[in-house]
Amino acid sequence: MATINATKPRRVSIKASRDVAMATAAKAKLLLRELKTVKADLAFAKQRCSHLEEENKRLRDNLEKGSNNPADDDLIRLQLETLLAEKARLVHENSIYARELRENRFLREIVEYHQLPMQDVVYIDEGIEEVAEVNPSITRTLSLASFAASNLLVIRILDKELLCPLKECAVVIQHATEESS
């Protein structure tokens, strides 16, 4: 009976590690797909930029020749509006990409914590938190908050927030004592 109870936390730990690995793999696949989209957008932006440079050169040549055409002014205004809109779109995409990179970094940190020797085990089951400290000399603070509505688990370890999408409400978090200074 004691061996059955001893293997249960290990099974939960293995299942949690597998779930984190699957979530990380799915996130990496999503980021790869997004990277391809960003590369395609970058190629389009480069093509558009070269086209605008050609128009700008043509307009400067016309200006040097002395022709003052109101249609050219409208074209310049349109170019500036296009460039401004493109810049706003790129800034927005950059902020989304930066957020995705942070989330990916947090997922990698979770995986790293799973790979370190087990010191603390935290079980979350239907909103009830239990903390089983294996080594009570650890002075770290470990707090968890579960957001069931969004299927996200926010883990705060030493003032770092880690976001982890979960399919189930049970997870095992491990971390080492080496950094407890």
pLDDT value at residue 67: 66
Taking the domains of the chain in order of start, what are their residue ranges? 2-165
Computed on alpha carbons and rounded to an integer, the radius of gyration of the chain in Å comes to: 27
H or E element at residue 127: none
Residue 73 has pLDDT above 80, yes or no: no
Q: Is 133 left (phi over 0), alpha (psi -120 to 50) or beta?
A: beta
> Mean per-residue pLDDT for 126-133?
44
Query: In terms of pTM, does the model score above 0.85?
Result: no
pLDDT value at residue 4: 57
Residue 81 has pLDDT above 80, yes or no: yes
pLDDT value at residue 116: 64
pLDDT value at residue 76: 81
pLDDT tens profile 150-175: 444 445 444 455 545 444 333 334 33
